[in-house]
C-alpha cells in the first residue's frame, strides 16, 4: 500500500518492493519453485518478502541503540530520493517503528531508505552541487563522502548522464549503512560522455562552485569549497569546509 491512510504514514524505500526482495517475474518463478520443492521459506520470500519486512523493521526498531529509523516529511518518494526532503521541523523527525507514538503532534507522509538485509536501519545524507557561472557540462559525477568515522565511496550522483547548467543547484540523496560522523570532505569526479561519435559535442569540464551536505539524522549542514572549481573529465576535486 502506497497511499497515506493514517496520521503518520511511513514509506520505507517508497513503500513498494523492498530492497533484497525479488521483483515481478522473479516472484512468480520463485513462488512456483517453492511449491514444487515444498520449500515454504522460498515461497514466503517470493510472495510476501516486502510485506514481512514490516516485521523486520519493527523488531529492529525495538532493539535499536544508535540507528533509529528516522523518517522525513516529503510530498513524494521521487522528491525524497532527489535529496529535497531531509529537513525536520524543530530539529527532530518521527521514527518509524516502536517509537512512532512518541511523535503525536506529527502528521503526514514520511520517507526513509533501508539496507537490503539486516541490520536494515540506514543513515541519510542530502548532497547538493552548485555550479559556477561559465560552463555547461554534461556527463556523470561520482562522489566520495569522507567523515570522521568512515566514508561512503563511489556514490553515483545520477543514474546516467546529466547536463549541469551554469548557476544551478542539483541534489541527490545518499544512503549509508553506517554513521560516518562529521563530514570532513567530498571528492567530486567528473566524466563526460565517452562516445567517440558524440563526445566532441560536450565540454571537457564541469564547474562546481561548492557542495552542501546535510546529515539528516543529526540535522547538521556543512558547506564545502575547493580552490579549483573547474573539474576536467576523468579528474577529481576535493571539497572541504569553507
Confidence of residue 76 (pLDDT cuts 50, 70, 90): very high
pLDDT digits (tens, 9 = 90+) for 97-143: 999 888 767 788 999 999 999 999 999 999 999 999 988 889 999 99
pLDDT reported for residue 8: 86
pTM over 0.95: no
pLDDT digits (tens, 9 = 90+) for 197-218: 666 777 899 999 999 999 999 9
Average pLDDT score over the chain? 87
pLDDT reported for residue 49: 87
C-alpha–C-alpha distance, residues 92 and 106, integer Å: 10
pLDDT digits (tens, 9 = 90+) for 164-183: 999 999 999 999 999 999 99
C-alpha–C-alpha distance, residues 174 and 236, integer Å: 19
* Bridge partners of residue 184, in order along the sequence: none
pLDDT digits (tens, 9 = 90+) for 4-32: 556 789 999 999 889 998 764 444 444 44
C-alpha–C-alpha distance, residues 177 and 116, integer Å: 10
pLDDT reported for residue 44: 58
Confidence of residue 56 (pLDDT cuts 50, 70, 90): very high
Amino acid at each position: 500500500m502506497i497511499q497515506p491512510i493514517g496520521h503518520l504514514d511511513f514509506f520505507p524505500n517508497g513503500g513498494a518492493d523492498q530492497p533484497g526482495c525479488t521483483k515481478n517475474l522473479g516472484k512468480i518463478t520463485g513462488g512456483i519453485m517453492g511449491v514444487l520443492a515444498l520449500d515454504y521459506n522460498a515461497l514466503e520470500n517470493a510472495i510476501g518478502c516486502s510485506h514481512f519486512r514490516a516485521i523486520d523493521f519493527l523488531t529492529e526498531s525495538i532493539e535499536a541503540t544508535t540507528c533509529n529509523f528516522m523518517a522525513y516529511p516529503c510530498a513524494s518518494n521521487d522528491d525524497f530520493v532527489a535529496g529535497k526532503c531531509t529537513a525536520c521541523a524543530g530539529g527532530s523527525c518521527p521514527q518509524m517503528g516502536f517509537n512512532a507514538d512518541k511523535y503525536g503532534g506529527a502528521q503526514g507522509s514520511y520517507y526513509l531508505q533501508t539496507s537490503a538485509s539486516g541490520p536494515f536501519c540506514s543513515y541519510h545524507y542530502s548532497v547538493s552541487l552548485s555550479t559556477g557561472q561559465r560552463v555547461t557540462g554534461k556527463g556523470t559525477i561520482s562522489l566520495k563522502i569522507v567523515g570522521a568515522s568512515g566514508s561512503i565511496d563511489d556514490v553515483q550522483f545520477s543514474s546516467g548522464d546529466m547536463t549541469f547548467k551554469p548557476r544551478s543547484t542539483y541534489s541527490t540523496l545518499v544512503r549509508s549503512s553506517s554513521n560516518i560522523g562529521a563530514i570532513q570532505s567530498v571528492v567530486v569526479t567528473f566524466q563526460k560522455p565517452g562516445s567517440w561519435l558524440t563526445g566532441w559535442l560536450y565540454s571537457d569540464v564541469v564547474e562546481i562552485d561548492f557542495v552542501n551536505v546535510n546529515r539528516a539524522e543529526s540535522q547538521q549542514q556543512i558547506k564545502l569549497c575547493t580552490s579549483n572549481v573547474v573539474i576536467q573529465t576523468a579528474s577529481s576535486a576535493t571539497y572541504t569546509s569553507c
